[in-house]
Structure 1
Amino acid sequence: MRRDTFLKSLAALAASGALPMQAWAAANVKMMIPANPGGGWDSTGRALGKALQDAAVASSVTYENKGGAAGAIGLAQFFNASKGDPNAMMVMGAVMLGGIITGKPPVSITQVTPIARLTTEYNVFVLPENSPFKTMADVIAQMKKDPGSVKWGGGSRGSTEHVAAAMIAREVGVDAAKINYVPFRGGGEATAAILGGNVTVGGSGYSEFQQYIEAGKMKAIGVTSGARLKGINVPTLKEQGINVEIGNWRGVYGAAGITPAQRDALTEMIVKATKSKAWAEAIEKNGWTPALLTGKAFDEFVDRDFASLRAVMVKSGMI
């Protein structure tokens, strides 16, 4: 049967009520990735798309990258172009909440439909291989002498690595408002800047820097987790006397204006995808921590995290 004939048949069955909503929604998932290629949201979105197909809840997945402003540009496009579309999804997470707090964009995350939290990943801070510094203590000593001379590179303003850098400054007695933070539109840009020595210290998820750390092109000097990450020999900030712990979670939202039944269908698809072999492989490969949360519990988590991030930013002088 031709694909167009098949899809028309699905549409007719769905309209008649003979086919579950999720079967029709699974015909072609449209995945908005509100970041440039090469970063954590990009790898999450594409891994999720592969898992949806592996779990046989999506027949195809198309992707669109739209980076900038901590995901706010992609969010606005997703909101305007996908209203009522039960097939549309958007990757998001803590970085987007931080960007909304600092940037106050015209479209907020509250205008689209929460589906699920997927993973948590902690940030790692790295030095380029030719850096005159060797440890986080070296970086902090220089920052205490001249805060502006230390360039912190990472994701958009309000990203977890930006928040972490401000928290580090506050913890060591430096005015967080004086830190020199250089935001990038995606993980690829940040990586290039670090490798090129254009920033003093870079921050992101470990998976984004792993190949460069293992090749000796970057030196990892601290992670934002409470305890050392399994299989990763990098000291935590807390081990180094810096009382900072912050995780970068990632999740997925549906379009504005979908019905409760359509939200339930998308949620069911995501839950099935996270049980697939493809998703398990992505978790292992990227060093992500599974953190599935759906429904009301996810709604409440986002509200709490939004308030918590805002409080941290206020204390750190970011807003």
Structure 2
Amino acid sequence: MISPTLKRLAVLALPMAALAVTTNVHAEEWTPSRSIEFVAPANPGGGWDTLVRTVSRVLQEEQLAERNFAAINVPGGGGAVAWAQIARDSGNPHKLFATSPPMILVPLAGASRYDHTDFTPVARLITDYSIILVSANAEYETINDLFDALKENPRLSVGGGSAPGSMDHISVAGLASAAGLDASSVNYIPFSGGGDAMTNLMGGHVEAVITGAGEAAGQLGEGSQLRALGVSAPERLTGSLADVPTYQEQGVDYTFDIWRGVMGTPDMPEEAVTYYENLFAEMLETDGWQQARDQLGWIDAYQSSEEFGDFLDQQKELFSDVLSELGLLRQ
């Protein structure tokens, strides 16, 4: 039986906030004077990287931004290396970074001296979901097949692109608990990003990989070397993931939402925050964004800077309970 705390992961909010934004031009309105460094705190191929490159491409194609958004990868420490660099650039309005649950989880686990309160929330953009992948020639056809094998042989491992106690680990731990295993018994192997985790899966170094559905979408389909066993959404996704059953369809009562958004440097000027809020809200209404979003199986979940900040505080409370249950909370 899934514990009450892990079950609470299913209630991560999905508000479809109205995208009405004040766009009146004022004389003091800020605009960027050079290219914006848009940091993905991981190697290429993961969820942060996918968000950064998709947003940068859509902004350019839709001609929404005055300056180019330059995608930059800064891997290491489940995000901690990038956060340490960004923290030293206080007040810089030309630097942004992609964020998601590890921004809360990694500091709680004691792996980063910086947490979300050290940076400037800009906007939440979307919600993604977790997906379990195995090699196409693996013997597992369902989530239950995989977890039966894990029960039989606890040495079998599940890889992920985030640090222990971070997003992928929490997601698979909750799933394992819902499937009747002790969450702490899952042999989770962390890699430096989703791309690295996939490489190790194909090399036979792990039995399965848990990653973001969006980043896996382009690697599935006819002729793929991967097979998706299930997705953490409450109902089936669209596009290339339409044939992937949910966990709930397979009798495992569990969902997990991966929110993704954008944050800025410490003490980013208020007028710069307003500029980016408006820019991202406008982007979400474009055809280019909606096409990319649907291909990746994302769901719009916009929040303004203030709303996103409040949401992050709530996430810290929730995940503190989860990590405590797994014995991973820094004391």
TM-score tier, shorter chain, comes to 0.7 to 0.9
Whole-angstrom distance in 2 between the partners of 1:235 and 1:317: 31
Q: Find the residue that maps to 1:181 and give its secondary structure.
A: strand
| Partner residue of 2:43 out of 36, 44, 50 | 36
Q: Which residue of 2 aligns with 1:155?
A: 161
1:134 correspondence with 2:141: yes
* Residues 129-208 of structure 1: pairs in structure 2 closer than 5 A: 129-147=136-154, 149-157=155-163, 158-208=165-215
Q: 1:203-257 CA distances to partner (integer Å, 9 max, x unpaired)?
A: 1122322343312311111111112223412221122222221111110011112
Q: 1:147-177 CA distances to partner (integer Å, 9 max, x unpaired)?
A: 2x22111121234321121112222332222
The one-letter code of the counterpart of 1:302 is: L
Q: Which residue of 2 aligns with 1:260?
A: 270
Whole-angstrom distance in 1 between the partners of 2:173 and 2:47: 21
TM-score, length-normalised on structure 1?
Answer: 0.86
Q: Which residue of 1 aligns with 2:67?
A: 59
1:87 correspondence with 2:80: no
Q: Which residue of 2 aligns with 1:9?
A: none
Listed as ranges, the gaps of 5+ residues in structure 1 are: 1-17
The one-letter code of the counterpart of 2:310 is: E
Q: Which has the larger Rg? A: 1
1:306 correspondence with 2:316: yes
Whole-angstrom distance in 2 between the partners of 1:67 and 1:250: 17
Answer yes or no: is the 8 Å Cα contact 1:191–1:209 preserved in 2. no
Whole-angstrom distance in 1 between the partners of 2:219 and 2:82: 28
Answer yes or no: is the 8 Å Cα contact 2:103–2:115 preserved in 1. no
TM-aligned CA deviation for residue 139 of structure 1: 1.4
Q: Find the residue that maps to 2:30 and give its secondary structure.
A: helix
Whole-angstrom distance in 1 between the partners of 2:64 and 2:237: 33
Q: 1:211 to 1:199 in 2, by over 3 A?
A: same
Q: Find the residue that maps to 1:252 and give its secondary structure.
A: strand
The one-letter code of the counterpart of 2:157 is: K
Q: Which residue of 2 aligns with 1:246?
A: 256
Q: Find the residue that maps to 1:204 and give its secondary structure.
A: strand
TM-score, length-normalised on structure 2?
Answer: 0.84
The one-letter code of the counterpart of 2:249 is: E
* Residues 45-56 of structure 1: pairs in structure 2 closer than 5 A: 45-53=52-60, 54-56=62-64
Whole-angstrom distance in 2 between the partners of 1:150 and 1:241: 22
Number of paired residues?
299
TM-aligned CA deviation for residue 132 of structure 1: 2.8
TM-aligned CA deviation for residue 26 of structure 1: 5.5
Answer yes or no: is the 8 Å Cα contact 1:153–1:183 preserved in 2. yes
TM-aligned CA deviation for residue 140 of structure 1: 1.3
1:288 correspondence with 2:273: no
Q: 1:83 to 1:190 in 2, by over 3 A?
A: same
1:222 correspondence with 2:230: yes
Whole-angstrom distance in 1 between the partners of 2:75 and 2:207: 24
The one-letter code of the counterpart of 2:232 is: T
Q: Which residue of 1 aligns with 2:325?
A: 315
Whole-angstrom distance in 2 between the partners of 1:261 and 1:100: 28
Q: 1:101-146 CA distances to partner (integer Å, 9 max, x unpaired)?
A: 2234112221110010011111110111222333221211122223
Answer yes or no: is the 8 Å Cα contact 1:55–1:276 preserved in 2. no
| Partner residue of 2:131 out of 117, 121, 124 | 124
1:297 correspondence with 2:307: yes
Answer yes or no: is the 8 Å Cα contact 1:52–1:58 preserved in 2. no
Q: RMSD over aligned Cα, in angstroms?
A: 2.0
Q: Find the residue that maps to 1:122 and give its secondary structure.
A: strand
Answer yes or no: is the 8 Å Cα contact 1:160–1:247 preserved in 2. no
| Partner residue of 2:76 out of 61, 68, 72 | 68
TM-aligned CA deviation for residue 278 of structure 1: 3.3
Whole-angstrom distance in 1 between the partners of 2:224 and 2:37: 38
The one-letter code of the counterpart of 2:108 is: I
Q: 1:33 to 1:295 in 2, by over 3 A?
A: same
The one-letter code of the counterpart of 1:245 is: T
Q: Find the residue that maps to 2:109 and give its secondary structure.
A: helix
| Partner residue of 1:279 out of 285, 289, 312 | 289
Whole-angstrom distance in 1 between the partners of 2:136 and 2:161: 20
Q: Which residue of 2 aligns with 1:97?
A: 104
Q: Find the residue that maps to 1:76 and give its secondary structure.
A: helix
TM-aligned CA deviation for residue 77 of structure 1: 0.7
Q: Find the residue that maps to 1:89 and give its secondary structure.
A: strand
Q: 1:299 to 1:184 in 2, by over 3 A?
A: same
